[in-house]
Amino acid sequence: MSYRLGELAERIGAELRGDPDITIDRVAVLDAAGPSAVAFLANRRYRPYLESTKAGAVILGPEFVEGCPVSALVLDNPYLGYARAATLLSPIIERELGIAPSAVVDSGATVAPDASIGAHCVIEVGSRVGAGTSIGAGSFLGRGSSVGPHGHIAAAVVICRGVHIGARAILHPGVVVGADGFGIANDNGTWVKIPQFGGVRVGDDVEIGANTTIDRGALEDTVIEDGVKLDNLIQIGHNVRIGAHTAIAACTAIGGSARIGRRCTIAGAVSIAGHLEIADDVHLTATSAVPNTIGEPGVYSSGMPIQENRAWRRNVARLRQLDEMARRLRAIERKLDGQT
Amino acid sequence: MSYRLGELAERIGAELRGDPDITIDRVAVLDAAGPSAVAFLANRRYRPYLESTKAGAVILGPEFVEGCPVSALVLDNPYLGYARAATLLSPIIERELGIAPSAVVDSGATVAPDASIGAHCVIEVGSRVGAGTSIGAGSFLGRGSSVGPHGHIAAAVVICRGVHIGARAILHPGVVVGADGFGIANDNGTWVKIPQFGGVRVGDDVEIGANTTIDRGALEDTVIEDGVKLDNLIQIGHNVRIGAHTAIAACTAIGGSARIGRRCTIAGAVSIAGHLEIADDVHLTATSAVPNTIGEPGVYSSGMPIQENRAWRRNVARLRQLDEMARRLRAIERKLDGQT
Amino acid sequence: MSYRLGELAERIGAELRGDPDITIDRVAVLDAAGPSAVAFLANRRYRPYLESTKAGAVILGPEFVEGCPVSALVLDNPYLGYARAATLLSPIIERELGIAPSAVVDSGATVAPDASIGAHCVIEVGSRVGAGTSIGAGSFLGRGSSVGPHGHIAAAVVICRGVHIGARAILHPGVVVGADGFGIANDNGTWVKIPQFGGVRVGDDVEIGANTTIDRGALEDTVIEDGVKLDNLIQIGHNVRIGAHTAIAACTAIGGSARIGRRCTIAGAVSIAGHLEIADDVHLTATSAVPNTIGEPGVYSSGMPIQENRAWRRNVARLRQLDEMARRLRAIERKLDGQT
């Protein structure tokens, strides 16, 4: 795709400072962009690349306009402007419509005529694939499941029986939605499996990263609300509910029956226990461990940053003495209070 | 399936208080159950839903019988009673017997006549699939491997060559059993791969969660004993041995050659170093890091729960001073002792 | 394969003490080795097994020669010697040359005549498979991707479009290379996806463990340099660069745009933030959390080892008081200084 710069500015909601008639056909980073590319500056650390850029135009915030040697597309959230421009300028990836000859599609499944079912897919009885949706090679859609319209399911995705996924979903390779939750009851030292009867409901505009797993509910459904964005290798336990427009980074684990609010951001390698609630607009920094309910919006953190190994060894040994140290400190204070 | 309540009580080992002749055909949660459903109360926090339940009966412990407005199935471990009832009331999932036309089954493989091999499976030479076992679509069974009777292998499971899995196994999608362990030796700054000759032996009644990986041994086998239950996205390194009836929650990592005892429970996001031993009946809470052998049964923990971000910043900065603080505290104590 | 012991010694660079004419056809552990096996002693804790070994020969360091009851292959790095011997003695695994009938290979793909394409593979247009490379059952090679010569791609691997992998690669089952990075921009509370235009470039002699994910770059490529070794369930974010001969253990997460140096070793369950740099020759111990750039080589650590649960509860509660404790300690010191 290509755009006149003036049209691109209008479409991304930016104010144009420069020549509206140059042609833009791609996005690029500041130091690699040529005259038909639009670059962007959204992070102050890349400011030094601005003055020497060869880009046709740069998307940036008002504070950087002065130093821009080429046409500028100015808006308050340049990263958002870049996202919009990149979407407009995306190459159109051709895909074959219809059902690949090697796919196994049950006669009791419903596939929209303009959907695309890749090689070696398996689409079971009673399942539905929406209009314009593509299912990548080797993916599996279990009985009675559905994927809404305009979705993009990559290769090697497993959607188990009774899972319902909304419109415009993006599921990356290796995603598993609807495997059994980890439900076991102890019977004198051995474990008895608890059958998992619930399903998974995934809203509209949800993206799920590679090899992420979302378990089906035990009795009720696991629910991922609209606009949720999940990175790779995330674990979502059974009966979890994730509120709309919450974003979660890679390698985070969420225990069963946790309820996560809306518009939360959860960074990477976070661990959230089951059977708790997290309020709307909570932000968790990387490696946070959440054992209990968070009732108030805010930024929360835990985890220990690295130290040089020898210092860490000395300091971490003291962690076992912390309660004792606190008691000794109190004793000294009492003694000194008694003195005075 | 459906049961008379009196028969259901007997089968799950509960004492019936109420009408033995009502018909039960499902399990449900307290606040969504109708008259043909049995609900359960195993967690005190759901006690408020008991008095208004519309369930036909409720499985519960003796302490809740008084407040139960409907028939009660009373036993000391209601969660176990629920597990049994849910198993009895599970819908029977139809599966096609035999080998799907698109599966590729080597003529030198042995598949039980009543086994089920899904579409696009690959079953290599010398492998064996036991009686009544189903292999889901697109799964792979490598040369010389075996899966015992009455197993349920989901879609997209990879069982590498020389892996042996016992009876009644449940493997969820994306599981990989028998990939090479991480064995490398350093040769002046470059790494030399150590071939992994061992296999994996998995006992009876083992369940393995989605996208979990269990590596083959280097020379001897990696061993998962009977009744072990593994959640999703777990890593089991080469030559690990996990004792019978141990349960491990999601996102836990176990380093090579670790030996985990029997009847342990290991919560989510735990990290266990290699070349150590963990005794029987050890319980590790979520996010625990285990660097050394645990010789005694008990409950062990580590990890830092979240704080409000500003408080965490202040406190975590002090972690680097902990050893120094301990020394200063001791110095003060000496000084004060000298005074008196 | 089998070797005369004298030849084996020469090939692995060891000094032989013993009979050069015995035949060795396998490697084994000290306490299970028979007379045609070579065992090794690379870890002091296995020293007790040396005196009773029935091995034909033992690979060991000079310090253990005296106690060796059989022929000895002596070298300074016995683990490396073992790696070499195991490689020489590996059984040759037969594989079928050519393209399996059930594979779907686009006519616009280029597959070397002596490559092996397994059952149900999908090889898209414009992709290339190098000489002697095998692609396991059900794997996917997206359009315009390439795998260099003498590679071993296991079953169920997904290589997305525009990913380039060098020579002698080993990719284990469930690996996903080239899924979209986690790029989103916030638009008044909802997320806008940022298209991911970059690719992934993987150097020569790289091994990637089961279910590990490596995201494609946003605009530039994600880069894995020569000789990098990755264990299972690792997450590599978009635009990361990993320096040559760095080894990373399982369950480690690396945030987008991080640059990791050469010859680093990163242990398991480490968490590395995005947009930072780690120098060459940095070593991170297990569970380390890296929030910022590491400018100097060395060994770095963080994380809290387990304690008995009750002790941990008491100690961890004090973590929230650490800054306050430090201030009180300082106040006492001031007071005592004032006294004297």
Could you give the residue ranges of the DSSP H alpha helices within chain C?
Answer: 5-12, 78-88, 309-319, 322-339
| Cβ neighbours of A338 in B, within 8 Å | none
Distance (Å, whole) CA B164 – CA B56:
44
Cα B312 to chain centroid distance, Å, stands at 33
Question: Number of Cβ pairs closer than 8 Å across A and B?
Answer: 225
pLDDT of B176 > 90? The answer is yes
Rounded to the nearest angstrom, the minimum Cα separation between B97 and chain A is: 15
Q: Please give the structure tokens belonging to residue A231.
A: 């990175």
Residue C339 burial class via C-beta count within 10 angstroms: exposed 0-12, middle 13-18, buried 19 and up: exposed
- Contact list, A185 vs chain B (CB under 8 Å): 77, 79-80, 82-83
Q: Is C317 on the interface with A (CB under 8 A)?
A: yes
Question: What pLDDT is stored for residue A95 in this prediction?
Answer: 72
From C164, C172, C238, C245, active-site residue: C238
**d(Cα C179, Cα C160) in Å, to the nearest integer?**
6
Asked whether residue A195 carries a pLDDT value surpassing 70, the answer given is yes
List beta partners, residue B171: B153, B208
Separation between Cα atoms, residue B221 and residue B236, nearest integer Å? 12
For residue C337, what pLDDT band results from cuts at 50, 70 and 90?
confident
pLDDT reading at A340 higher than 80: no
Q: pTM score, two decimals? A: 0.97
DSSP per residue, B100-149? -TT-EE-TT-EE-TT-EE-TT-EE-TT-EE-TT-EE-TT-EE-TT-EE-T
State pLDDT tens for residues A16-42.
999 999 999 999 999 999 999 999 999
- Percent helix, strand, coil in chain B (nearest 5)? 20, 30, 50
- pLDDT band at B340, cuts 50/70/90? low
pLDDT on residue A131: 97
Mean pLDDT for B223-240 is 98
Q: How confident is the model at residue B329, as a pLDDT? A: 96
B146 has a pLDDT exceeding 70: yes
Residues of chain B with Cβ-Cβ distance to A332 below 8 Å are 329, 332-333, 336
Residues of A in contact with C276 (CB under 8 A): none
pLDDT reading at B337 higher than 90: no
What is the predicted ipTM? 0.96
C32 with B220: CB under 8 angstroms?
yes
C-alpha angle with apex B26: B22 to B28, nearest 5 degrees?
A: 110
**Contact (Cβ atoms closer than 8 angstroms) between residue B15 and residue B75:** yes
Q: Do B100 and A104 touch (CB under 8 A)?
A: yes
Residue-level pLDDT at B306: 97
Residue C9, pLDDT > 80, answer: yes
- Looking at the predicted structure, is the pLDDT value of residue A332 above 60? yes
Q: Which of residues 164 through 223 in chain A touch C, CB cutoff 8 A?
A: 170, 172-174, 205, 207, 209-211
Share of chain B above pLDDT 70, in %: 99
Q: What is the pLDDT of residues C241-289, one digit of tens each?
A: 999 999 999 999 999 999 999 999 999 999 999 999 999 999 999 999 9
Alpha carbon dihedral A85, A86, A89, A90, in 10-degree steps, equals -150
Res C54: pLDDT = 97
Distance CA B73, CA B60 (A): 6
Please identify among residues 271-310 of chain B the ones whose CB lies closer than 8 Å to any CB of chain C: 271, 273, 275, 284-285, 288-292, 294, 298-305, 307
Q: How confident is the model at residue B93 (pLDDT cuts 50, 70, 90)?
A: confident
Strand bridging mode B247-248 / B265-266: parallel
Which residues on A lie below 8 Å from B77 (Cβ)? Answer: 185-187
Average per-residue pLDDT for chain B: 96
Task: Indicate which residue of A238, A245, A275, A283 is catalytic.
Answer: A238
| Partners of residue A156 in chain C, C-beta under 8 Å | 138, 140, 156, 158, 176
Residue B276 and residue B280: Cα distance in Å, rounded?
13
Q: What percent of chain C is modeled with pLDDT above 90?
A: 94
CB B136 within 8 A of CB B151: no
Please spell the DSSP secondary structure of A98-109, one letter per residue: EE-TT-EE-TT-
* Nearest-10 Cα torsion for C324, C329, C333, C334: 10
Among residues 65-84 of chain A, which lie with CB inside 8 Å of chain B?
none
**Percentage above 70 pLDDT, chain C:** 99
B103/C283 Cα distance (integer angstroms): 46
Q: List, for residues A205-258, the tens digit of each pLDDT value.
A: 999 999 999 999 999 999 999 999 999 999 999 999 999 999 999 999 999 999
Q: Does B250 touch chain A (CB under 8 A)?
A: yes
Q: State whether residue C106 sits within 8 Å of chain A by CB.
A: no
Q: What CA dihedral angle connects A213, C203, C120 and A150, to 10 degrees?
A: 50
Reported as a pLDDT band with limits 50, 70 and 90, residue B45 is confident
User: Measured between alpha carbons, how far is residue B302 from residues A237, A323, B270, B284, B290 in Å?
Assistant: 22, 15, 9, 9, 9
Among B164, B172, B238, B245, the active-site one is B238
CB contact under 8 A, A312 and C301: yes
pLDDT value of residue B1: 83
Which chain A residues are within 8 Å of B27, Cβ to Cβ?
A: 197, 219
Per-residue pLDDT tens for B154-169?
A: 999 999 999 999 999 9
Both tokens assigned to C60: 């060991």
Angle of CA points C208, C209, C214, to nearest 5°: 55
Known catalytic residue at A172: no
- The closest CB to that of A211, out of C195, C197, C213, belongs to C213
Nearest CA in chain C to A27: C219
State yes or no: pLDDT of A1 exceeds 90.
no
Q: How confident is the model at residue B91 (pLDDT cuts 50, 70, 90)?
A: confident
Bridge partners (DSSP) listed for residue C266: C248, C284
Which of A43, A263, A323 minimises the CB distance to C318? A323
**pLDDT of C316 higher than 60:** yes
Which residues, numbered 136 to 165 in chain A, qualify as contacts with chain C under a Cβ-Cβ cut-off of 8 Å? 136-138, 154-156
Whether the CB of B118 is below 8 Å from some CB of chain A: the reply is yes
Whether residue C154 contacts residue C173, with contact meaning beta carbons closer than 8 Å, is answered with yes
**Which of B90, B306, B328 to substitute to test the interface with A, most A CBs within 10 Å?**
B306
Contact C201, C218 (CB under 8 A): no
CA angle B36, B40, B42 (to 5 degrees): 180
Q: How far apart are CA C213 and CA B17, in angstroms?
A: 54
Q: Cβ neighbours of residue A310 under 8 Å, at least 6 residues apart?
A: none
Q: How confident is the model at residue C340 (pLDDT cuts 50, 70, 90)?
A: low
Q: How far is CA A321 from CA A305, B311, B317, B322, C40, in A?
A: 20, 21, 18, 10, 42
| Rounded CA separation B69/B54 (Å) | 9
Hey, are the CB atoms on A233 and C213 less than 8 Å from each other? yes
Mutation choice for B interface testing from C99, C134, C232 by most B CBs within 10 A: C232
Rounded to a whole number, what is the distance in angstroms from the first to the last CA of chain C?
A: 81
C211 CB neighbours in chain B (<8 A) are 174, 176, 211, 213, 233
Cβ-defined contacts of C294-297 (< 8 Å, 24+): C294/A306
